[in-house]
Amino acid sequence: MYIEQGYKGFSEGWRYVVGLLIIFFGWQILGGIPLVAALLLKSDSMMNMPTDYGAMANTLGLNLFFLLVLLTFVAAMGSLWVVIRFLHKQSFTSFTTSRKKVDWKRILFAFGLWGIVSSVMVVLDIYLSPENYVFNFKPMPFFVLFVISIIFVPIQTSFEEYFTRGYLMQGIGIGSKTKWLPFVISSSLFGLLHIFNPEVEKLGYGILVFYIGTGFFLGILTLMDEGLELPLGFHAANNLFTALLVTADWTAFHTNSIYKDVSDPVLGWDVLVPVFVFYPILILIFSKKYGWENWKERLFGKVLTKEEFVALTDGDSDLA
């Protein structure tokens, strides 16, 4: 009963509205101050500040730009933590999982599994299409990138999971008393949040199939496994290994990675393979490992009322 974990704190509708305002203020306003300030210092005026990812990265340097982008998510995560702990008065454990404590083995299993698969995919593509890549490794810049990535990328990916499949999933589910509605909305919104990524400008809106498909995949993991552990591990591995292994001038991550993709970006089969091949296989692996059952009820069933939840859990609540 992951969605019902929201009942373990204050779950009135107005709190979610206020919470969203606080989160967006921290994410978009406070979090952006260091990046804007750094760009202003490098520019003659605000009118001459670079606005696209590539220009900003060239102006500030790859590692500094990457760090400042990730700091926006540190501010966002801090704002979300304040909202959960002080506005909803909910523990972060119940916000993360329906289990009595966070299952770190689940996080590490998803992280390791997708880390291996995604790395093999990158290495295989480099082997099959060496003309599309240049060896970009520089020891000191890469070491700095590695430290930045290990510390801050998990914060960035965790915020996206906690916000879409945590805050929105629980809030919309409690409000609608359905599971399908928060499942569809949070998964679609996750994809649409990437609409301003430079990849969309280069490849077109067709790339949103990948982002939205990933959102639905992670939504299935959340509802079937009754917690965020698997999405947290998967998402961290995906972004971390991407940042370290390969970069391109037309992607959101401009980094001092080991390889650089210099090919002309084309929307092709490689966008569809993860969504329609790898994700179903991963779902099968997770379902077998963790014994998932009652798919229809877990994905499309009704959300209990607060009274039903309290009666079922014998009054177990963060507010008790």
* Residue-wise pLDDT tens digits, 119-142: 999 999 999 999 999 999 999 999
- Confidence class for position 320, pLDDT limits 50, 70, 90: very low
Instruction: Print the domain residue range for 94.
Output: 3-312
**∠40-156-290 over CA atoms, to 5°?**
170
The whole-number average pLDDT for the span 4-11 is 95
In a domain, 275, yes or no: yes
In a domain, 318, yes or no: no
49-77 pLDDT tens trace: 887 888 888 899 999 999 999 999 999 99
198-254 pLDDT tens trace: 888 888 899 999 999 999 999 999 999 999 999 999 999 999 999 999 999 888 888
Among 13-27, 95-109, 251-265, where is mean pLDDT lowest?
Answer: 251-265
Inter-CA distances, 96 with 93, 158, 226, Å: 5, 10, 9
In a domain, 26, yes or no: yes
In a domain, 83, yes or no: yes
In a domain, 168, yes or no: yes
The whole-number average pLDDT for the span 148-171 is 98
What is the spatial distance between Cα 286 and Cα 24, in angstroms, rounded to a whole number? Answer: 33
What is the spatial distance between Cα 314 and Cα 261, in angstroms, rounded to a whole number? Answer: 56
Structural domains counted in the chain: 1
In a domain, 320, yes or no: no
- Contacts of the segment 100-107: beta carbons below 8 A, 24+ positions apart: 102/227, 102/229, 103/227, 103/229, 104/229, 106/225, 106/227, 106/229, 106/230, 106/233, 106/290, 107/229, 107/230, 107/232, 107/233, 107/236
In a domain, 265, yes or no: yes
